[in-house]
A and B are shown apart, each in its own frame.
Chain A
Amino acid sequence: MRVVADIIKGAYSLIVGMGVTIRAFFSPVVTCQYPRETINISPRFRSHTKLVGDPENPDRTKCIVCGMCERNCPSNSIKKIEGEKKEGEKKKTATSYILDFTTCSQCGICVESCPVDALAFSSDYNPVGFRREDFHYDLVKEYEKRKKTA
């Protein structure tokens, strides 16, 4: 008797399984056809860092060239932070900020340690390049490029 009950139960479970797959067969696909379409990047996504613009003066970034990020970077990925003091301004303005993205692990210590919140994560999720130097970003130049396209 138990054998028969087992067979009936087993057969029922097979039908249930087939129901699951046929429902999946007729429901819409959930994948994103990547090169043809892209999904929205979540705001918490961590790509390389970017410099945030100064809301009072869009010509400059918020960066005051204090060098905290450079000192705190565990993998020494931030190099050559330079700046100058422009006429009529209290703080320095960054002219060069090199981020070596090849050694950066997106830990975010630079973002957290920045005293003026001048750093943020960008959402550039697919950087490509043929040479190592392609990933040595100058964030000041990137900021200016962004400003121009915006």
Chain B
Amino acid sequence: MCDTIINIVNIVGKEVVRTVVGLIGVFIVVIGNAIMLTWAERKVAGHMQRRIGPKEVGPFGLIQSFADSVKLLGKELLTPANVERPLYFLAPTLIFVPVLVTFVVIPFDGFLQVKDINVGILVILAFSSLTVLSILIAGWGSNNKYSLIGAVRSVAQNIAYEIPLLLSLLPIIFMANSFSLRDVVEAQKGLWFVFYQPVAFLIFFVASVAETNRTPFDLPEAESELVAGFHTEYSGMRFSLFFLAEYTNMFIVSAIAVTFFLGGYQGPILPGVVWFFMKTYVLVFVLLWFRWTFPRVRFDQLLNFSWKILIPVSFLNLLVTGGILKL
């Protein structure tokens, strides 16, 4: 049995096997994370409003999200009349691609990483900006005013917040001297970067909340104004792909924050992968916490906050970091 496996690995090549196995692992993490987070979100929402949340299906309602996903899978795929058909079909698929690709470079543990690319963070930032494209496609293709308004808002918002996102990561890249995520983690052996760069961490976290389109920056899908924003016309499995992408994006931004500021998989006693997931889910909890605390910002406030506060402050932070490193 073992010999056959080794033979197969030798025939197809180690790199291919590693990628395939890695992608399967990524798929499992993505699906498991989304299922767990939908449950966690409803549970957290419940307790923050002093309710219980899901409790009927399974112990503590744990199987609720399975039941929901079965329901969504079984639904008829409705295609509204007069939609831009190719674009309408493309958008839910397209939103899922960047989500999968970004997982490839995240180091879950010292050796638990699908591929360590030496420009890892650039890959993540480049692909995560594809999300906004698929939101735009979904909004445009739906032939619905609410979808379109949501999509247009999303574009303006994502452009505004991608800049501070990148600018807040640059000082870390200065300090670690590398774009590779594993090098960044290894550079935090002594002290986590959050202690050197608290301002950058704050800016990154705020910008990443905006990037994932979550409250208080959930203008693209603002329920109270736009029905459901860009995914108004989507139902069944197509809707659940958007949903899946949102929850996976939450995981990804938290994972990047952990990798860049909170020491990644480093920690005493427990294995690295446990530390990594623990830190990531603490940040995910903070995201949920934000959602059930803060009201939605107005659109001018949103853009003013990014262009007038976050970007100048992150530039200043970058400048100071560069100056100090030069000295």
List the interface of chain A (C-beta within 8 A of B). Answer: 7, 14, 17-18, 20-22, 24-31, 33
Contacts and interface: CB of A to CB of B under 8 A. Distances in A.
A20 B293 contact: yes
6 closest Cβ pairs, A-B complex: A21-B293, A30-B50, A21-B48, A25-B47, A17-B293, A25-B48
B50 A21 contact: no
Contacts of B55: 33
A35 B107 CA distance: 47
B49, B55, B309: which has the most chain A beta carbons within 10 Å?
B49
Contacts of B47: 24-26, 29
A27 B50 contact: yes
Interface in B15-67: 44, 46-52, 55
Contact of A29 (B44, B52, B293, B294): B52
Contacts of A22: 48, 289
A21 B292 contact: yes
Contact of A7 (B44, B50, B289, B309): B309
B127 to A, nearest CB: 31
Interface in B284-327: 289-290, 292-294, 309
Contacts of A33: 52, 55
Given A7-B309, A18-B293, A29-B52, 4 more contacts: A14-B294, A17-B293, A25-B289, A29-B46
Contacts of A29: 46-47, 50-52
A20 B46 CA distance: 14
A25 B44 contact: yes
